[in-house]
Each structure stands twice: as C-alpha cells, then as structure tokens.
Structure 1
C-alpha cells in the first residue's frame, strides 16, 4: 500500500490532546527511569555540578530544536511517526526512514516494561515491609531476577500500559498523565525534603550543585549531549506521534519550552534525592541499576520511617516508568491503526502480546537463563544497545536533516516569528546534525575519546 493512501487512522476530534494534557503527556514521556538512576550515575562519573551545567547547555543547543521539529512534523502531517514526514510534504523515502522511529520505541518498550515490573514489585515489597526484613539486598535482587516473578510483573506492566493506551488519547493517555504527573511532583518534593534533611546530606548537595570544571572532558561533553537527547524522548517517534494529536492553536514554541523545563526540573530534583541519600549513607552513586535495587534499599532500611519513604520511592519510579511506557506503546499503535486500519483495541491487544513475547528473552537473560549472552552482552543489553545507541540517534538525525534541508513548509508549521525561525533553522542545519552524528559515533562505540 502506498503510504499516501493509508487512511486507517483519522485523527479526529476524539484523538486530540487538550493543551495542558498534551504538555503533561509529553513531560510524562520524558520523565522516565533514566533520569532517576542513569543521570546520577553519569553526573557522578563526569564531574558533578559541572556536568549538570553542561547537560543544561546541551539540552538547549540540541534538545529543544529537535524536540520542536518533531512536534511540528507530527502536527503538520497528522500521521504516524512514519507517514507524518510524507504528509508534511516529504518524499516517499522519508516514510521508509521514519519507520525507524516506529521500530525503536517498540524495541525499547519490550525491555522497558521489564524494569517497570521490577519497580512495581519493589513498591509492594517496600510497603509490606518484606524488602527490609532481610539485610541481604543484593541476594534479594539476584534471587528475584533468577526466578519466575519478573515474568509475572512484566505481564502486569504490559497490561497496565495496554489498558491505558486502549482507552484512547483524551480518555486514556491524557487522563492518566493528568493524574499521575501531579502525583509524581508531590512524591519528588516529599522525597527531596527527606533526602536533604538527612545527616551528612550537605556533602551530596554540594557535590551536585558546586561545579568543578576541571573534571570536564571531551567524553563528558558527548555523554551530556547523549543524555540531553535521550532524556527528552527524541528520535523515537513519541513527539511526532503526540504532535499529530495537538490542536493547531497550541503554540509549539511554548510547549517546547515547557517540556524542556519539565525534564530539567525532574533531573534536578532527582539529583537532590539521589546524591544527598547516597552521600549520607556512604554509597557510591555511580552504580547504575544496582544503586536503585540494592544500595538505596539499604539506605532506606537505615533511616527513620524507611519503609514509608522506600515505598514512596519505588512508587515514584513505577509512575515514571509507566508514563514513559504508555508513550512508547502509542507510537506503534498509531502506525498499525493507520497502516492496516486496525481498531485501537485490536492494535493494543496484538502489540502488547508481541511486546511481551519480544521481551521474554531479555527477562530470561538477566537471571533465569544467563546463557542468553552474545559477545559478552546479555540479550537485554543488546536490545538496549541497538535501540538506544543506534536507532535513536539515527531517528534524530533523520528529523534534523528533513526539517533543516527538505521541509519547504517548516516556517508555517513551526509558527515561530521570523527571528526565532532563523535561529531554529540554523540550529537544525548546522549544529544539531553534527552533534547528533557525534552522539551516534560515541554511543555506538565507533568514536572513543
């Protein structure tokens, strides 16, 4: 079927965000697990506050221009992440390239729901007190991932995600984010206050907020670029898909700034939770997943009302995981509805099942069948590497090249004043593509510094 002829998904009034619902949903897609454990890890490794300031610069230089381009393409095309390029005025080849931004989020979702399931499991364990009844937190985590329970919680995460997306844009995704994003903000503030009032927390706050520019290197700049790119959910079709549901009266410039600010504030508060807590209890913040599921439970067990705060922390993680998972699922749902004319319910049912099946090898490779490794990487890690380090930068590069060089109606679609449009176009043509290529070369391992 010719991509111009796909009419299965009409994007009618029932498939529209309200202004506030759109911004909250877009922030929900950006607010994920990465900023809670990856951001502290790389911040600790690459210079603390100096790295955080560099991250802010990269967010403005590469993140916001690409973010706005994706939203504009989606709204102009009113199609899926693949066909919006064509419907906005591009050649057929852009639709083929756009398919990368449908494949990538589906791959990511297949292993993302696994970790989302872990957070749900740990929230239950924490509130029940079982998490803190045994001080061997490493053994608990290893025993959990080696058993069958991760599969059950993976199913729970898939079902919750699918149920929300099946309810549609206004009745499902928007309503879900309007409830959970404010709840997430409350949890962030409560946990931040608890963290910065811990004994010895000042050292963690100082590390995070007092810059030491001597620690910055060329590699830290590339890592900051990569995290700024990924933390905004760029290159994975989410913002193109969400852009298709945005009202024409919505200012994309204002929305871009709001989404960027939301992502930045979340990263800031996450740092003010993780660093004071880790410094207070003598924990190395550069531990990746083990920090969240092994080291931090040990810290919560040692603090007053640790059961409560530990439970709230994992509820926070679960909310962050599910808001992102919902966004990831909507991308292929939008495509299948448009491409084959499936109903939303049918699309959710089929793709949720396929997501679970695709994710099974990743789940099994982390404990039950450790032999699912290739070239020294577990199947889970390979899925993460291919999708996050290769497909996402490629998706972002496609967006910048299309919007910067081939999109003739970009000015009208963006809705920017002449001066700001020239700045935006300059960034898309001469700055963002170079930086995205550098990120791609670095994350794929081809560029070593």
Structure 2
C-alpha cells in the first residue's frame, strides 16, 4: 500500500492531465500505457528485487547486490542517482503539494463560489506572486510529510497510507462517476481513446516514458528503499503488477475527473501545470454541489501528494541515516529542513527569480526537465542493465521466487526490450 501510495500521486492526478493536454491526447495516452506495462513493470520488479536483496538504502542495496554477484561496488552510483533524483523532484513537488493544501483550504472556506475564468486565473497568478504564502503552505506540507516519516515505517508510513489510499480511491471513483452523468464525458472518451499518430514525434515518446517513470516512481530510489522493507515471502512480481495497474487506473480516472469538466465548461486544455488550479475552480463554481465536490477533489489530491512526497523523502532519509550514521528522527528532521530550504528556490522561480535563467530555463524548468527527460529514463536504463546483465541469474531467480516461465519472461524483457527501448527513446528524444 505504501508503494502504491508512492507511485499514485500528483504525477497521476496533477501531472498526467496537463502532460496529456500538451502532447495531443489519445496517442500520448496509448504510448504512455505501453511504456508503463512493457517497460515500467520489468523495471519496477528489478528495483524491488534489488532493494529486498540489498536490505538497505538504494545506493547500499545496489552495492550489496553487486558485490554478491562479483561486480564492482561502483554500481552503487545507480542508487545514488536515484536518491539525487528523488531529492530534486521533492524540492519542486513540495511546493506543488503546498498549492494543493492552499486550494483545499479555499475549497473548505469558500468552495470557489462565484469564481469565473478571469478570477481563477487571477487567483492562481496572485498565489504564484506571493512568495510568503507559497512558502507557508510548502512548510505545512513538508511538516505533515515529515511527521508521518518521523513516526516510522509501521507506525507512520503504513498507518497513514492504509487510511489515505482507500479514501483517495473512493473519492476519485466517486468524482469520475459523477462526471459520467454530466456534460463533456463522451468528448473525453473520444479525446482519450481516438489516437492521432500524426502528432507523435521523439519528444512525445520521451514525454510518455518520462511520465510513466515519474508516475510509477521508477529510478527515484524509493522503490528500492520500500523493497528493503519487504518480507521474503512477499511476491515482488505480483506486487509490481498491482502497483502498475493501480497507478495507470488512477491516471485514467484522473482524466475522467478533470477532462469532462474542462470540455463541458469550455476551459483551456493547454493550461500546463496550472490546469487543475486555473480551470477546475471555474467548474466547481458552476456545477450543482460544487462546494462539496471541490472539497472532495482537493482532499483526494492532498492525500495523493502527501503519500508520494512521503516516498520521495523516505528514499532520501534512508540514505541520510545510513550515510551519516545518525538515528532516524534526526535524519527526518535534517532532510525535511534541507528540502524546505531548497524549495525556496522553487518558490522564488515563480516570481522574483522568474527571469534568472540558465540555457533559457529557470530553476523550476531545470528541476522538472532534468529528472523527467534525463535522470528518470537514464536511471531506468541503468537499473535494467544492472538487473538483467550484471546480477547473477541464480540470485535474481531466488529473490523473485516465481515460476520459471514468469522469471524467464521478466529477464528476457529486461535484457532485450527494456534496455534497447529506453536507450533508443532517450537518445532520439534528447536529439
């Protein structure tokens, strides 16, 4: 449940709709689903396997498994890159979680009554211009997340996700069913499932791989960290399949929650990262019972954001604890403080530092593009190379503890499909 919570987050409900809107709809969705199952499942199995066999943080787990297989311990850099990726994403992600909490507060207090398109755009712009308010809500989000991690794996993470995830699924399904009986649903079906492949190029395919890895939390170190907590009798193959199924279903359900409202009320599909925050308040203001539905929606989004941020920070915390040999509570406090301080750069990049650019990109552009287009695909590629070609077959077969056909299929996919596919997509996309 914790791994599902890590995978199912803002990447599905906030990022998936606007990335889909920017990349043409159905063709992107089809490529995303293909990447999630053909590439994501084998990579996820590999991460969980390495984590359980290594029994430590991501870098240490890779090092342990490498040594067992007679390989150089330098392979640990793969896990280290995952921790760095998780940290980079969490700095920006924490700010977006802050946005969600701020909008949840607005939903509770006003329900967005009387909000039109101009007012919604102005409200979002005002929030981005107000550094103090954004930082305040970012701190609230990191403190909630830190409190869950501080309580430990069982008393904190497991207890939180056992409540948050079922509630989130119920809210998401309820909102999707509601939209099935309102305007825009049939248009959404057509837009999501009638592909136009003339819009597909290398950048769209790379965006689909990046979204699959982002939403599945692959190559962020977190799945290896959670893998290290798994008991020996847990089926990694079954667990990975469940995680990917839940993740992709939530992404599609999010489309059926967001897009019908966008189409029905004639809102802007290409609003980018602000799609949910700039368009949905207008829809909530106009629909019957909008106040209640706005609270449900942003509560669901808050649960999704916090459970994913827990996974990101748990990856960094496990490494920090091991690297500096300090107790868990001190590690959590240090990581939360460092992420919060670094998130100031993300906050300021929306206003004061918006014109400060490197190679034409500001801090937030770099912090999103570097993981999404480089670190996640590269990390997934190297995890597949390591698990498929460097880990001894007897070790991986013992760890996966599955029937020979399933194991042979997984190993063949990792070696002969995942590695070349990610390599080609990564190079062509970057070019």
With the length of structure 2 as denominator, give the TM-score of the two structures. Answer: 0.93
Q: 1:295-331: per-residue Cα shift (whole Å, max 9, x none)?
A: 1111111111112212221112111111100000001
4+ aligned runs moved over 4 Å, structure 1: 210-219
Quick one: structure 1 residues 268 and 425, their matched pair in 2 at CA, closer, same or farther if it must change by over 3 Å? same
Q: CA deviation at 1:261?
A: 0.8
Match of 2:93 among 96, 104, 112: 112
Moved more, 99-108 or 429-438: 429-438
Residue 128 of structure 1 is matched in structure 2 by: 109
Distance 1:203 1:173 in 2: 39
Match of 2:36 among 49, 52, 59: 59
Distance 2:82 2:204 in 1: 27
* Paired residues of 1:37 and 1:288 also in contact (CA < 8 A): no
Q: 1:365-415: per-residue Cα shift (whole Å, max 9, x none)?
A: 102443433333221221222233222222212211111111012221222
Is 1:70 the counterpart of 2:53? The answer is: no
Distance 2:77 2:195 in 1: 44
Q: CA deviation at 1:440?
A: 3.1
* Paired residues of 1:35 and 1:270 also in contact (CA < 8 A): yes
Distance 1:235 1:192 in 2: 30
Q: Which runs of 5+ in 1 are unaligned?
A: 1-23
Residue 348 of structure 2 is matched in structure 1 by: 364
Moved more, 429-438 or 344-353: 429-438
Moved more, 266-275 or 429-438: 429-438
Is 1:307 the counterpart of 2:291? The answer is: yes
With the length of structure 1 as denominator, give the TM-score of the two structures. Answer: 0.89
CA RMSD of aligned residues (A): 1.9
Q: CA deviation at 1:122?
A: 0.4
Residue 436 of structure 1 is matched in structure 2 by: 422
Q: 1:350-378: per-residue Cα shift (whole Å, max 9, x none)?
A: 11111111111111110244343333322
* Paired residues of 1:77 and 1:84 also in contact (CA < 8 A): yes
Quick one: structure 1 residues 216 and 108, their matched pair in 2 at CA, closer, same or farther if it must change by over 3 Å? closer
Quick one: structure 1 residues 192 and 424, their matched pair in 2 at CA, closer, same or farther if it must change by over 3 Å? same
Distance 2:360 2:9 in 1: 27
Quick one: structure 1 residues 95 and 384, their matched pair in 2 at CA, closer, same or farther if it must change by over 3 Å? same
Q: Which runs of 5+ in 2 are unaligned?
A: none
Map of 1:193-342 to 2, 5 A cutoff?
193-212=177-196, 216=200, 219-342=203-326
Q: CA deviation at 1:212?
A: 5.0
* Paired residues of 2:111 and 2:292 also in contact (CA < 8 A): no
* Paired residues of 2:221 and 2:315 also in contact (CA < 8 A): yes
* Paired residues of 2:57 and 2:224 also in contact (CA < 8 A): yes
Is 1:80 the counterpart of 2:57? The answer is: yes
Aligned residues: 422
Q: CA deviation at 1:95?
A: 1.6
* Paired residues of 1:67 and 1:239 also in contact (CA < 8 A): yes
Q: More helix by proportion, 1 or 2?
A: 2
* Paired residues of 2:284 and 2:294 also in contact (CA < 8 A): yes
Residue 414 of structure 1 is matched in structure 2 by: 400
* Paired residues of 1:196 and 1:273 also in contact (CA < 8 A): no
Quick one: structure 1 residues 442 and 145, their matched pair in 2 at CA, closer, same or farther if it must change by over 3 Å? farther
Is 1:184 the counterpart of 2:161? The answer is: no
* Paired residues of 1:40 and 1:286 also in contact (CA < 8 A): no
Moved more, 384-393 or 135-144: 384-393
Is 1:381 the counterpart of 2:365? The answer is: yes
Q: 1:48-104: per-residue Cα shift (whole Å, max 9, x none)?
A: 344433322222210000000000000001011001012122421012332111111
* Paired residues of 1:226 and 1:439 also in contact (CA < 8 A): no
Quick one: structure 1 residues 219 and 332, their matched pair in 2 at CA, closer, same or farther if it must change by over 3 Å? closer
Match of 1:145 among 125, 128, 153: 128
Distance 1:379 1:219 in 2: 21
